[in-house]
Amino acid sequence: MSLLVVGSIAFDTIHTPHGSAQRVLGGSASYFSVVASHFTQPRLVGVVGHDFPQANIELFQDRGVDVRGLARVQGETFFWEGEYHRDMNTRTTKAINLGVFEHFQPVLPGEFKDSKLVFLANSAPETQSKVLDQVDRPELVVADTMDFWINHQREALARLLPRLDGLMLNDSEAMLLTGETNLVRAGHAVRKMGPKFVILKKGEHGAMLFSDEGVFVVPAFPTEAVVDPTGAGDSFAGGIMASLAADPERKSGRLRRAMAYGTVVASLTVEGFGLDRLRKTTRTEIDHRLEQYRQMMAF
Amino acid sequence: MSLLVVGSIAFDTIHTPHGSAQRVLGGSASYFSVVASHFTQPRLVGVVGHDFPQANIELFQDRGVDVRGLARVQGETFFWEGEYHRDMNTRTTKAINLGVFEHFQPVLPGEFKDSKLVFLANSAPETQSKVLDQVDRPELVVADTMDFWINHQREALARLLPRLDGLMLNDSEAMLLTGETNLVRAGHAVRKMGPKFVILKKGEHGAMLFSDEGVFVVPAFPTEAVVDPTGAGDSFAGGIMASLAADPERKSGRLRRAMAYGTVVASLTVEGFGLDRLRKTTRTEIDHRLEQYRQMMAF
């Protein structure tokens, strides 16, 4: 099934205790698309500036990403610079330049309007809603959000939530949104705000799914080779949505299997700077790690 | 197989955002024994003061706990008072009186010297070593420890570690002990210090096992009814050791199944103040929740 992602494309400068990377390709839609390209041919909608090299566009194309929704406009590409602390779980933003992303109003090419699976990467809830208006008859719509929108555009977010099948957000954001201090209660409370299912991301501690099948918990795949955590959440989303797109049967437990795929690809992402590790991996390696992951939890 | 636990018995006064409990029966050996009594007949070694009511001893006896190693001496029983913060994950100790526990030198009754499974609950590593000296031929020895001993008795702890089959400790303590900031590397590094396997406890995020079978991760059982987290770690240990004692076959994956039991009983513990919930539960309920837990992770 066709899979659409609308999100950011950025240059990231990343500092970690183990090394640095300068102006590498990043952004939610980049991570999502490269992950998804291992499962399907995702449709990408995003914006870049005049400084965005053709080589990066070819990188997407070579992986089968449909870039007809990629706008290249006058101005600078979104730039982010961040530094990870010693524990690799927290980070400080050192510089940010939204560039052409700041006033980006995504326009879907006509060929993308029939997309069946839609992922609205983190952006203003109103922008996410306007994207949704452009899709004819989506079968599964999932959005990501963050604390900034919960704090500053709560009403727009509240209007978006009932239009979603799924919402993904961090554990702390779910507590912020609902006022609950227990994660299980927070997850249930977010569902009551509209989305049919909710995925709480807990970083290195895994994730939780709340749906009409109950609560499902997944630990992170334990990797000791954490090089750069950037993009883990978007990779997780990409693995979920793309494995669903590649497995369209509406069976029970489908979302749970998708989350396992998301977990495994996220663990690959963090093993390299930027998109390095994701570009090197193969579907065979992903499936092999999925099997390891399954065995790791069996009892 | 016979299961021995040596640890603290205490009165706890517990404050949470949802209520309080005054001088309820607590301590590591109490939680461990009551959990273990659902699987086997644990042997308890500990000390209480003259203020310890006979009714509490009968509570243990009624559950089949062998209390021949319970010393009752002149002085006050260990007392702890703590307050949980709003997130229920962190707490502040408001009062502590070690009482008779302070100079406790555990002496095993002759009948306990043939114990096959031994759990050394958190105490000074030298005391734990002296207990071990008294056991004839244990088959599985597991100890708990904490940051205080890592900081103040590191050498005694280093001497104990090679004598252990397993060590249990919190994630932050494993990092403190090894200097590693990545949990997977920390777990492997603790193993190199002596114990055959290491269990890292991550509280509401579950636990990790490092053994010669590899790394095994278990999420916590998600419960929304967290009333009082006191004793969760000792209950986890009790579920692990007692389910091993009740299932003596040395099969692959045995520790993993034991950790699932530990997870499930810990989730019951936190649903009531002190030992309330544990005393009410049944082996049937434990097994039912284990099945729920298994389904919750299946994909």
B181 and A CB contact within 8 Å? yes
Q: Could you give the percent of chain B with pLDDT greater than 70?
A: 100
**Model ipTM?**
0.81
Interface test with B, best of A217, A256, A257, A271 (most B CBs within 10 A): A217
Residue-level pLDDT at B172: 94
Identify the band that residue B297 occupies on the pLDDT scale cut at 50, 70 and 90: confident
Using pLDDT thresholds of 50, 70 and 90, give the confidence band for residue B98: very high
pLDDT number for residue B129? 98
Q: With residue B175 as reference, give the H or E element that holds it.
A: helix B171-178
- Supply the pLDDT for residue A265: 98
The CATH label, of 3.30.465.10, 3.40.50.1100, 3.40.50.300, 3.40.1190.20, for the domain at A3-297 is 3.40.1190.20
Tell me what pLDDT residue B75 has. Answer: 97
Q: Is B188 on the interface with A (CB under 8 A)?
A: yes
- The answer to whether residue A208 neighbours chain B at the CB level (below 8 Å) is yes
A251-255 contacts at long range (C-beta below 8 A, 24 or more positions apart):
A252/A213, A253/A213, A253/B298, A253/B299, A255/A197, A255/A209, A255/A211, A255/A213, A255/A216
Report pLDDT digits (tens) over B233-277.
999 999 999 999 998 777 778 899 999 999 999 999 999 999 999
Alpha carbon of B58: minimum distance to chain A alpha carbons (Å): 35
Q: Given this model, what pLDDT does residue A88 score? A: 84
Mean per-residue pLDDT, B269-288: 97
| Facing B219 at nearest CB: one of A17, A88, A218 | A218
The pLDDT of residue A2: 97
Looking at residue A225, what is its pLDDT? 87
Cβ neighbours of residue B284 closer than 8 Å, sequence gap 6 or more = none
Percent of chain B with pLDDT over 90: 91
Residue ranges of chain A with per-residue pLDDT less than 70: none
Q: To the nearest whole number, what is the mean pLDDT of chain A? A: 95
Interface test with A, best of B201, B204, B205 (most A CBs within 10 A): B205
Nearest Cα of chain A lies from the Cα of B220 at a distance, in angstroms, of 8
Please report the pLDDT score of residue A298 as a whole number. 83
Q: What are B103-145's pLDDT values in tens digits?
A: 999 999 999 999 999 999 999 999 999 999 999 999 999 999 9
Which residues in chain A have Cβ-Cβ distances shorter than 8 Å to B208?
222
pLDDT at A299: 83
